Structure 1
């Protein structure tokens, strides 16, 4: 992040509006369908209760994907649409650019998170989306985030950048 007070810092910390959580899913185990939920408990330093990564190191405590990218991924993979569960991210978020949250703190409802890294697609996307599915998702795989302050994540929660 550029130093505070610079023009670039001002540009990188301005958002036209808050985002919204549109979908929540949990991966109970490897190679099983996602479980769609209306709310989930986020544990600081770990992950989401009921998700297979819930007890992990925390760098990938929550995975997010941009709702606006779902139609593009579907089109590039040759599908009319793609279900959020197919892409195996925990949260689908609309209205705010997730790439701008990488390396930054942000709040979803009562939960404070920090964007840690891009959530690149894995080889499983070939099976999920068909041949070329991995490349159809490249650059649009979303964001991994660490949970800094836990709480409950809910459908409809606001997603907002937070000054460090």
Structure 2
């Protein structure tokens, strides 16, 4: 994703976030087709994934997946549920307080971990089973963000999510 020049009017608007976010939930997928495991902290590996997650050894743009806490009620409403548990959506982190879409193409920190937002985290066909018929479409536009781990470290519940200046 190409961002507008930082000194342009649009660049200034896109860089202006109202506040830092916060890590609300951390989950790991230890293997394919097993439930997510909620944890209080996790180690992010530079250029890789999260220790204990089935994608630990993989590299690239999907080292970690994030979803916005404020979107969980929207997904629930659109899929006909009163609430949706973070674990069934299969993202690694649930964060609140800032729009994840604003981190796409940007670097940001969670605790001491440096990340780069790489792409939308689109839903997969498994959401039809997890949320019921129409679950895939209920998540479209609300699936979150994929990020590359630039500098690893520990991520804890309650850590701040802070966008870095361009």
Q: Where on the TM-score scale, by shorter chain, does this alignment land: which range?
A: over 0.9
Q: Which runs of 5+ in 1 are unaligned?
A: none
1:96-135 equivalences under 5 Å are 96-135=98-137
String of CA shifts for 1:15-61, please: whole Å, max 9, x gaps: 11000000000000010000000000000100100000111023100
1:77 to 66, 76, 79: 79
TM-score (norm 2): 0.97
Partner of 1:67: 69
* Displacement of 1:4: 2.2
1:1-164 equivalences under 5 Å are 1-164=3-166
Q: Secondary structure at the match of 2:61?
A: coil
Question: Does 78-87 or 57-66 show the bigger shift?
Answer: 57-66
Q: 1:66, 1:75 → 2: CA distance?
A: 15
TM-score (norm 1): 0.98
RMSD, aligned α-carbons:
0.7
Aligned residues: 164
Q: Which runs of 4+ in 1 moved over 3 A?
A: none
